[in-house]
Amino acid sequence: MSDEVQIDQEVYDRLIGEGKSERIARAKAKAAAVRQAKIAEGQSLGPKPAEEASKKLEEFREKAASGGGVATKTAAPAGGDAGAGGRLTPEQRAARVAASLGQEQQPPSMGVPASSEHTHRLLALVPPSGIQQVQAKQQDKVYTWPHLLLVEFVALLAVTALLLVASFFLDAPLGSLANPNEVPAINKAPWYFMGLQELLRYFHPMVAGVTLPGVFMVGLMAVPYVDKNPSAHPENRKLANMAFTFFLTFWGLLVIIGSFLRGAGYEWVWPWVEGLGFTL
């Protein structure tokens, strides 16, 4: 912060007076100050002429060829030709690289030159197979902000509102203290496990409680590997859709039966006769 470039106060005040923004006025005033400083040092302003740069390079190469001047082999040509950076021909550039590597006559190589003592690489070669090539068709897309984020925000608000209203009017149940010695008349798992509990009615507990759920889970995970049909269009996958709908319906039915049509002792009841034996 301390050695910041001085600004030309006069220029700054003038520009502010003209109604320019603070930022622009400051930048221009800074530039003016730098310009003045350079003139004071006797430097020329503006881009350096090309001849001057080439001349500096020639000088440098002569020095390099005669073995003097360059202290270490790796040392980049010290100072002086900073202004020449952008104006080298490919040959000149190659010569410069070669000079700094200490092997004037050979063509520049990408890796470590065999004759050199250097062990670091200037460039890494990446085989084409090492590059992830992504090819995709141009798609009809819209900006995430504002389009998607707005939709998401509305969905989020709607759900929050719904939950708040529900929570305001319906209290979560709390029964009497847990008592391992007193089996309640109606004894049910949470609704998402009612399908399993209903199965328990028909099968041995090992089948209903362990084998079938295991088969369902593994079966679900296997779906993408079993369904080899490449089309995602409903027209082309009637069998898959039918099978899944059947599975969902079957499961839904078990949950509904278990939740609403089972009463004391897990016997069949009609809720309008015996009341709803179901707690969320």
Partner 1 sequence: MAKKDLKGAVQDNVVWKSIFRPGSIYRKGYRDTSRDRALAAMNNVLYHLHPVKVKRHGLKLTYTYCLGGLSFFLFILLTITGIFLMFFYTPAAGAGTEVAYLNMRDLSASVTFGQLVRNLHRWGAHAMVFTVFLHMARVFYHGAYKPPREFNWVVGVILLLLTLLLSFTGYLLPWDQLALWAVTVGTNMMGFTPVFGDQVQFVLLGDVEIGPNTLLRWYVLHVLFIPFITVLFLAVHFWRIRKDGGISGPL
CB of 149 to partner 1, least distance (A): 7
CB of 173 to partner 1, least distance (A): 6
Name the amino acid, one letter, at 172: A
Given a contact cutoff of 8 angstroms between Cβ atoms, the answer to whether 106 and 113 are in contact is yes
Nearer to partner 1, 71 or 185 (CB): 185
Nearer to partner 1, 45 or 185 (CB): 185
Nearer to partner 1, 77 or 258 (CB): 258
CB of 52 to partner 1, least distance (A): 36
CB of 27 to partner 1, least distance (A): 14
Q: What does each C-alpha distance from 102 to 70, 116, 118, 180 come to in angstroms?
A: 10, 8, 11, 89
Residue in 280, 249, 246, 275 with CA at minimum distance from that of residue 261: 275
CB of 95 to partner 1, least distance (A): 39
Nearer to partner 1, 110 or 149 (CB): 149
Nearer to partner 1, 31 or 200 (CB): 200
Spatial separation of the C-alpha atoms in residues 240 and 98, rounded to whole Å: 67
Spatial separation of the C-alpha atoms in residues 59 and 117, rounded to whole Å: 26
CB of 58 to partner 1, least distance (A): 42
CB of 63 to partner 1, least distance (A): 42
Nearer to partner 1, 92 or 216 (CB): 216
Sequence-distant (≥ 6) Cβ neighbours of residue 20 within 8 angstroms? 28
Nearer to partner 1, 56 or 259 (CB): 259
Spatial separation of the C-alpha atoms in residues 21 and 9, rounded to whole Å: 15
Q: Is 196 exposed, middle or buried (0-12, 13-18, 19+ CB in 10 A)?
A: buried
Residue 47: DSSP 8-state: S
Adjacent-strand bridge partners of 268: 262
Spatial separation of the C-alpha atoms in residues 255 and 195, rounded to whole Å: 5
